[in-house]
Chain A
């Protein structure tokens, strides 16, 4: 994420600036095939804007996803993308990041993808704390497979697999994330407040470490009225602001008057806030910049040359070598 500084000539610099300057269209690809009104569109817009504003090189940017409606997002980005298998976006992204720490890697996943089939990877991704930005598109339902209950479906949600209403309490992705050691960035947003959505995605991107954003996402196809109460009543949104967190613009503050000053360093309060789903807390709940990143802990800065491999191999072979009589040990 953080470009290395190096000296280049002025003309080269200009050329590079020209090459590296991108408009939002440069990051767009194809026509999204999500349903009209689907919250995924807003998320796509936010990340495309982020790419433009940060001047990310499309060739150095990778969007990784699993399977689900949300996981289609990489197909609409004119960057590198990896649309893999259900639940496994995180380990793929981790492999990419460990192999190539210089790439900007984003992960888009759904509530089924992350909190159900991929739950083990999610928990461990928090532990690894790699410098990845993860967006959990939480529509509280399985979209792509046509309306089955998800772990985040509120109790009583009627779906094709729970026709009499879902019978389990919903899993709260925020409290789970905050409960795991090494957690380094946790935020929550809703897809219908673009300004905050953008700001949070941007802060997550700038955070060095594993950034987890739960995005409450509307699925008008299967749960058409699900988020209406929160959309129509700004009082049911709790805006978290802090000098180290969200900045609230005056226009936003006019609408969303329910606010709390919350220092993202305060884990106890973050956990309390996280457990509320009404009002929905929106903003940065927790941030710790000091947790080491797995790729930094593990990555070897030495240039791996043939000479190095040869010497390494020979040193190992020496341990197991039986030399013939009179041979010189080379």
Chain B
């Protein structure tokens, strides 16, 4: 019999008498807290993640977001909350199934069960107030679900959370989240003082009374768990010696904007990119930056282009549909050779698709988007830390090469939190001040270097540099010109810059041995899941390695040599590819996933692919399954 099977602590009986707690040491655990939207589970989860990080554990948190702002209460689709993976060592992704879940009602829990998010035998801490609900249908649905869960082998603890909170506050529905946080802190043997400080920080903008009430609830939850729960987990922590930052990918991007010395961000609200601009609107302006909320994405992009043209490098932040709208203007920036940083926090598409879900569907659009041949740089951060540094890199490349640099993040990175070493500001990150010295006589605005395609940028204010920038084909003087030779020359110059940049890049490093039976290639936010699975296989002695691409356009040198070292190569991506086993799919019609397609055409290797677009982050177990299949 499994520990705690069917345990239903009789609360009133045990209250006050400490139960005997079985302590278990774990390498890692996945915890979830879910509620109806508005009940504060997100706040509880985020705070829990920060406390865990402060205790020195590896951690990765994932938001559980319903598609609607206020879905009906107690509904399967309404689950809102947070999933926290705690580890002994560094955690690089959200992991597989959940080990322990705190749920404020049985309906939100059902949604998680049905989508196979919970591990068999998962521990469930369930609000029990519904058992005595006046409404018979609620009462019955609760009892029915409870019985089903128990029958299915879950360890369900019924906990009178609201009732307990009521001893401390009048509106217990809103305080429950901190009570739950206290229970979790006790369950995972966390330091209560660190938790108190975190709660104070979480409610830092509120009054002292609010902070105190929440700390009281936290303590109540902690004490209740100490007295009533019969289990306790301990996860060893590997304390770091360096200060760590715990933020999600969007905040990391925004901090990168701040650190890069950029001065203007133009945006139009769109999920899941918006929180980056929310954060910037507050933080950026303290150091003289401006967030301009334009009337639409077209305007935001054109605005950014205008500001960049005037001598500053500007960033515009968006997501899929907004990125589509910016395409025409991006072409203009390419043609005019205006430095521009575009952040696309991808979401599921096409069309409005799945706004809150993750997908890597925009790679091709990014590389080939806009009309005509519009070469631009594409960078895809693979970790939260890379979200921060990618902006600084992007700004530098944009200004050195007078190019558009697109940063491809996604909903998975945007909303996940992971600690990384606190960055130390470097003055070199900042954009240099605008050069307004006079342009030497005879200098031309597009004096393309024959070898690199690079030309010096002329900026309004520079005497002697007067010219009219145009999106029309133009000669070195920026004069509109349709002559075949001139057009060919301009196109060549704009394209050459990518090669010039590629020459400055380092070859990527293989994760694992440089040769073997299978190479898994990924890009962007799937990095952690892929590497975790690959590492497991390597520990089992399998000859599997992985390669993660951060620079996708241009691709760094050395990839061909790496590919040559493996018997089989496969990309794993969060986008669409046809399943070769589908009835009408064959080699003549199969659509490959984006990176596979790019690599196949560039390196002429028979690269296979596996991909999914379920809107959920890639799980290490899924990668495991794919690798097993590929190895067989």
Contacts and interface: CB of A to CB of B under 8 A. Distances in A.
A324 interface: yes
Interface in B278-308: 283, 285-290, 292, 294-296, 298-308
B283 to A, nearest CB: 5
B470 A75 contact: yes
Given A78-B466, A317-B245, A95 B287 contact: no
Most buried by A among B305, B312, B480: B305
Given A82-B309, A320-B245, A59 B332 contact: no
B470 A83 contact: yes
Contacts of A24: none
A85 interface: yes
A154 B538 CA distance: 75
Contacts of A83: 468-472
Interface of B is mostly: mixed
A84 B239 CA distance: 54
Nearest to B417: A320
Given A59-B464, A62-B460, A103-B460, A96 B306 contact: yes
Contacts of A299: 290
Contacts of A314: 425
Nearest to B54: A322
A313 interface: yes
A215 to B, nearest CB: 20
A82 B328 CA distance: 16
Contacts of B247: 320
Given A310-B425, A317-B245, A323-B243, A95 B285 contact: no
Given A94-B306, A309-B425, A120 B290 contact: no
A92 B306 contact: yes
Contacts of A121: 295, 298-299, 302
Nearest to A95: B306
Interface string A45-82: 00000000000011111111001000000110111111
B240 interface: yes
A95 B305 contact: yes
A95 B466 contact: no
A20 B258 CA distance: 38
B292 A298 contact: yes
A95 B264 contact: yes
A85 B329 contact: yes
Given A59-B465, A304-B263, A313-B259, A82 B243 contact: no
Interface residues of B, number: 75
Nearest to B292: A98
A255 interface: no
A321 interface: yes
Q: Which of A67, A81, A311 has the most CB of B within 10 A?
A: A81
A325 B294 CA distance: 45
Contacts of B288: 300, 302, 304, 308
Sorting the interface of chain A by its residue count into under 10, 10 to 19, 20 to 34 or 35 or more gives: 35 or more
Contacts of B559: none
Contacts of B298: 88, 91, 121
B255 interface: yes
Contacts of A97: 306
Given A82-B309, A121-B295, A95 B266 contact: yes
Contacts of B259: 309, 313
Contact of B466 (A59, A98, A103): A59
Given A324-B239, A324-B241, A75 B295 contact: no
A59 B462 contact: yes
Contacts of A313: 255, 258-259, 287, 423, 425
Interface string B239-267: 11111111100010001001101011010
A99 interface: yes
Contacts of B480: 75
28 contacts: A30-B479, A59-B464, A59-B465, A59-B466, A78-B466, A80-B468, A82-B468, A83-B469, A84-B471, A94-B303, A95-B264, A95-B292, A95-B305, A95-B306, A96-B309, A98-B264, A98-B306, A99-B308, A121-B302, A304-B289, A306-B430, A309-B261, A313-B255, A313-B258, A313-B423, A316-B283, A322-B244, A323-B243
Given A95-B303, A100-B310, A308-B288, 9 more contacts: A29-B468, A77-B468, A83-B468, A84-B336, A98-B307, A120-B295, A312-B283, A317-B245, A320-B246
**8 nearest A-B pairs in the assembled complex, by CB-CB distance:** A95-B306, A81-B468, A312-B287, A91-B302, A95-B307, A92-B306, A99-B307, A95-B303
